[in-house]
Amino acid sequence: MHRFFITKDDIQDNHIILSGQNAQHASVLRLKIGEFIVLCDGICNDYYCSISSMQNMKYIANINFIKKNTNEPKANITLFQSLPKMDKLEHILQKSVELGIFCIVPVISQNCIAKMQDNNDKKLLRLQNIAESAAKQSHRGIIPKVLPLHTFKEALELSQKSARAIAFYESATSPLKPLLHQFRYKNISSLAYFIGPEGGYTLNEAEEFKKNNILTVSLSKSILRTETAAIAAIANIAYELN
C-alpha cells in the first residue's frame, strides 16, 4: 500500500483529507476510489484508510483502523555530519533515514571543502523532502529532522543534549563495539555521533571532543570516505542499540 505523511489538521472525524503535495502525489500514482492507503501522522500513528472520493484537487480517505507504528528505534540517534559535497550529503541523509536516524545536523568543521550558506531555505527544504521520501519508503513512524548548518562549536553544544556523544576519528584507538555494548546495557535513550569531512578532523578539533566529554572511537582499520563512514556508523549503532 502507498504511504503518505499527514498532519493532525488533515484528520477530520472519521476521515482524512489529502491536499497540496499529497494530493499531487496521489494523482501521479493514479489512486482510485476504494484503493487502500496508509497515512502516518508523524508521531507513530498509522491510519489504514480507503479512498472514498476525489473533489477539488483533494482526496478524501475514510479511516478503517489505526495501528501504532513500531518501526522506530528505541534510541534517538543524531548524526553531526561535517559538510561534504551536496550530492554526498543527500546520499548520507537518504540512507541514514532508512537505517533509523532521528536527526541529522550539517556541520562546518575546519577541513570542510564544500560550502553551504547558513539558512539556505531551498537546500534545507530539498534535504527535508529527501528525508520524508526515505521515511515513507522505509515505513518510518516519524520524519527525521534536518537542522540548519551549525558551526563546530554549536554542534558540540547541541550534542550535549544527547545522553551520550561519540566522534569517529581516524587516530582513535578505542573500538566501537565494546562501547555500544555498554550503552545498550545502560539502556541509553539518545546518542549523538560525529563524522568528519573528506579531510578528517584536525588535532584541535580532536582536543575539543575531549574537552566536551565526547569519546573518540575507531570505526574501521581502513580510512573510509565520509559518506561510507556515516552510513557504516548508523548501521552499527542501530544494530547494537536496538
Tell whether the model's pLDDT for residue 177 goes beyond 70.
yes
Q: What is the pLDDT of residues 103-157, one digit of tens each?
A: 999 999 999 987 665 557 889 999 999 999 999 999 999 999 999 999 999 999 9
> Are residues 85 and 133 both part of a single domain?
yes
> Are residues 237 and 126 both part of a single domain?
yes
> Are residues 190 and 210 both part of a single domain?
yes
The domain that holds 160 is classified in CATH as 3.40.1280.10
> Are residues 231 and 191 both part of a single domain?
yes
Last residue of a domain, one of 68, 87, 120: 68
> Are residues 161 and 233 both part of a single domain?
yes
Name the E strands within the chain. Answer: 2-5, 11-12, 15-18, 36-40, 45-55, 58-68, 76-82, 103-108, 145-146, 150-151, 164-168, 190-195, 215-217
> Are residues 80 and 64 both part of a single domain?
no
The closest of 64, 47, 44, 65 to 135, measured between CA atoms, is 44
Q: How far is CA 114 from the centre of its chain?
A: 21
* Predicted structure pTM score: 0.92
> Are residues 145 and 221 both part of a single domain?
yes
> Are residues 202 and 233 both part of a single domain?
yes
Q: What is the pLDDT of residues 198-209, one digit of tens each?
A: 889 999 999 999
Q: What is the pLDDT of residues 50-72, one digit of tens each?
A: 999 998 889 999 999 999 999 99
Beta strand pairing status for 150-151 and 103-108?
parallel
> Are residues 56 and 174 both part of a single domain?
no
> Are residues 141 and 233 both part of a single domain?
yes
For residue 119, the model assigns a pLDDT of 56
> Are residues 223 and 168 both part of a single domain?
yes
Q: What is the pLDDT of residues 223-241, one digit of tens each?
A: 889 999 999 999 999 999 8
Cβ neighbours of residue 238 closer than 8 Å, sequence gap 6 or more = 73, 77, 99, 100
Per the structure, the complete domain to which residue 14 belongs is given by: 2-68
Last residue of a domain, one of 68, 93, 109: 68
> Are residues 120 and 229 both part of a single domain?
yes
The domain that holds 34 is classified in CATH as 2.40.240.20
Q: What is the pLDDT of residues 75-99, one digit of tens each?
A: 999 999 999 988 999 999 999 999 9
Structurally, how many domains does the chain consist of?
2
Cβ neighbours of residue 157 closer than 8 Å, sequence gap 6 or more = none
Beta strand pairing status for 103-108 and 76-82?
parallel
Last residue of a domain, one of 25, 44, 68: 68
